[in-house]
Structure 1
Amino acid sequence: MKATDLLADAHALLLDFDGPVCSVFAGSPASMVADQLRGVLADGGHTDLPEAIATSTDPFDVFQYAATLGEDEARYVEAAFSAHEVEAIPTATPTLGAHELIVAWHQSGRPLAIVSNNGVPAISAYLDLYDLRTSIDFVSARDGSNAALLKPSPYLLHQAVTALDVAPGESVFLGDSTSDIEAAQAAGVRSIGYANKPDKDSRLTAAGADAITEVLTGLAAVT
């Protein structure tokens, strides 16, 4: 099925944030944030990290590892992570076509939610920066240190469709990672894989995406 057909039939749109809406760490590399989160762990005495965590460039890997160490470690690392996300927002790069899709969808009268593993404060800062808050009906995102609630768990998607008062099967989730697609499947929500890099098409398809799009430009026209 084409992405345009899914959108035309959907009663509600759910959008991942980092990727489909913007590149959060475009001006503040994620690898630097991961290093800083490892510094938080080191300050707490956790210096002997597994190789995969010690070398990861993804701050989510460090946060999820912190959550395995204990509630305090998870809370401290999440707080630092949230602060770095907010600091990154002024240099985040909007995804071409994303703002137009958001505004057009809102104008169509159908509800729209942001569903993201990123923190609520950063998403709120972005929506305010670009005057998009009135076009978003709900934000379902990380608001604490419980890493188990993040995608690929369906929790955030369940929370979004409940808040929007729509059936999961009448909603479509647009995300750019396999964890997005897995979360959508677990929640009973149809999914569009945003293949914004050459290697993503096959991975998102294999994960079970109902449709694939390589660009967001033009999608606003189907609303």
Structure 2
Amino acid sequence: MAADDGNDRENEAGELWELISRARVVLWDFDGPVCGLFAGHSSERVAAELVRGLESRGPRGLLTERERESLDPLAVLRAVGRRHPGSDLVAGLEARLTQEEMRAASSARPTPYADALIRAWAARGSRLAVTTNNSPLVVRKYLDSRGLAPCFDPHVYGRTRDLERLKPDPYCLNRALNATGAAPGRALMIGDTPSDHEAARRAGVPFLGYARNARKEKLLREAGATVVVESLEPVLRILSARRRQAE
């Protein structure tokens, strides 16, 4: 069994090398791979406040019991969007979530090695894009605060009022591919959720899973992700090694 585990790790390391070698465009999910958006601003509290606001102002029975107990503000937004697509209620809820995300951006925690990896990829001439279910306003605020905006400009593709186009729909990935002129097979998506993996699969883009804990890794593996890292450090190490080889 130990030998099999060793072979699996070796095979996955080889796959990681291949993913990085082929990528000419790198599509980043935002909350997770780039930063912990709600590290200092509880997403659970935001979800609860969205629910309370809906119950005080929205139609009765708008959410199921399970949806009311959701700890994910995006899940609350999706649920309302499914029942009232394009409504003023959805527009107001999305605007409220954007406000909360903007507050969260001020205390977001950078993902270890993400800044260095982003800069290293950009320095190699690779094109970078953010493809996220968060508001693009929030992404730009965070990137500006870290001095990373030039690495991505103008390629930030985030949430729109059309909630049906949130991942796992590949809409934001396809926008990034079209804007950069990249063939799907020459791109790489870095994401931390099953919906990221599914969006990449639908867009035909190779996928690298980032899992900061065992629960995240389990969810990604169960969704079909074959290459998952618990840290971005080995990705940065491989990229640095390739740069030295090129020199």
Q: How many residues align?
A: 222
Q: Please state if 1:195 is matched with 2:211.
A: yes
Taking the aligned partners of 1:168 and 1:109, their CA distance within structure 2 comes to 18
C-alpha deviation, 1:210, in angstroms: 4.1
Letter of the 2:158 counterpart: A
Letter of the 2:80 counterpart: A
For 1:18, which of 31, 34, 38 is the aligned residue? 31
- Secondary structure in 2 aligned to 1:114? strand
For 1:125, which of 116, 126, 141 is the aligned residue? 141
Taking the aligned partners of 1:214 and 1:151, their CA distance within structure 2 comes to 22
Whether the 8 Å CA contact 2:217–2:228 is kept in 1: the answer is yes
C-alpha deviation, 1:174, in angstroms: 0.6
More moved, 213-222 vs 9-18: 213-222
Q: Which runs of 5+ in 1 are unaligned?
A: none
Query: Partner residue of 2:57?
Result: 44
More moved, 82-91 vs 191-200: 191-200
Whether the 8 Å CA contact 2:58–2:89 is kept in 1: the answer is no
For 2:173, which of 157, 161, 186 is the aligned residue? 157
C-alpha deviation, 1:204, in angstroms: 1.4
Letter of the 1:103 counterpart: R
Q: Who wins on radius of gyration, i.e. which is larger?
A: 2
The TM-score with structure 1 as length reference comes to 0.95
For 1:98, which of 91, 111, 114 is the aligned residue? 114
Say what the alpha-carbon RMSD is for the aligned residues.
1.4
Whether the 8 Å CA contact 1:97–1:218 is kept in 2: the answer is no
C-alpha deviation, 1:41, in angstroms: 1.3
The TM-score with structure 2 as length reference comes to 0.86
Q: Please state if 1:140 is matched with 2:157.
A: yes
**Structure 1 runs of 4+ off > 4 angstroms?**
none
Query: Partner residue of 2:222?
Result: 206
